[in-house]
Amino acid sequence: MVQQGININDKSARRYHWLSGNVKDFVVEPHDAVVGDMKKDVVLDMTSQESEGCRKTSTDIVKENPKKLKKTILSIRPVHQKSLQEWIPQSQETEYTIDAFSLPRNLNWNTVKRVYDFHPKNYEELIGIRGVGPATVRALALVSEMVYGEKPCWEDSIKYSFCVGGKDGVPYPVDRATYDETIEILGNAIEQAKVGNKDKLNAVKRLRVLTNQ
């Protein structure tokens, strides 16, 4: 899967690739690996195992009267902002910052009411409701943490990027010689590692799968 996210502050784009060859759960860490062209210091990852408590709390929050959620969001806004509604039209969903956190200035409260009426049983049902987008997910996550103490994962799931070229030739062509050398180095490292034969064999098998050998 190839996806792209847009930073609403500076309009920059981040494209990332994720693999889910062994997906068992579409909500909890459905990806086997995620790679991209840049790593962020703070990224809300609601698929992480660490976000389990936050997911449950988010689901509980939307089962309560929307007026309570609106009152809660207003109560944790910066003191200099008088109202969520004064800055932008009702149809837009943008954000402001509370320390390292981002909270939407305005939510689509019709969507929140729809979610309340639906009464989702779990987080999968919650995010599957039409109209529930990044702003709603982010707002619920932040209320869960700041009000109820259920902290989500803020660690970027991107671990590694293409180190010797991108498969699409951007920004530079794939260097097959360097790839082969890297594979050879990894193979030698496995052979020399002070681990059992079974562990070595499994490591070699994983390397062969990754290199299609």
Reading the block at residue 92, the tokens are 């837009």
Q: What gap in Å lies between CA 162 and CA 174, rounded to an integer?
A: 10
Q: Is the pLDDT of residue 117 over 90?
A: yes
Q: What was the pLDDT predicted at 60?
A: 96
Q: Which residues pair with 3 in a beta bridge?
A: 16
Encode pLDDT of 12-40 as tens digits: 777 777 777 778 888 998 887 777 766 67
CA distance 67 to 61: 11
CA distance 67 to 122: 21
The predicted model gives 180-202 an average pLDDT of 76
Q: What is the pLDDT of residue 148?
A: 92
pTM for the predicted model, two decimal places: 0.63
| Long-range Cβ pairs for the range 40-43 (8 Å, 24+) | 40/14, 40/156, 40/158, 41/156, 42/100, 42/154, 42/156, 43/154, 43/155, 43/156, 43/157
Backbone angles phi, psi at 5, to 5 degrees: -115, 145
- Express each pLDDT in 137-166 by its tens digit: 988 998 999 889 999 998 887 765 556 655
57-104 pLDDT per residue, tens: 999 999 999 998 888 887 776 544 444 344 333 434 444 333 434 555
Residues 127 and 120: beta-carbon distance below 8 Å: no
Least confident interval from 1-5, 134-138, 152-156 = 1-5
195: pLDDT strictly greater than 80: no
Average pLDDT, the chain: 76
What pairs with residue 97 in β-bridges? Answer: 102
Judged by average pLDDT, the poorest of 27-31, 47-51, 133-137, 172-176 is: 172-176
Residue 118: pLDDT over 50: yes
Sequence-distant contacts of 88-97: CB under 8 A, at least 24 apart: 93/133, 93/134, 93/135, 94/8, 95/8, 95/9, 95/135, 95/138
Per-residue pLDDT band at 116 (split at 50, 70, 90) = very high
Higher pLDDT, 108 or 16: 108
Could you tell me if 105 and 147 are in contact, meaning their C-beta atoms sit under 8 angstroms apart?
Answer: no
Instruction: Please name which of 190, 84, 73, 85 lies closest in space to residue 143, comparing C-alpha atoms.
Output: 73
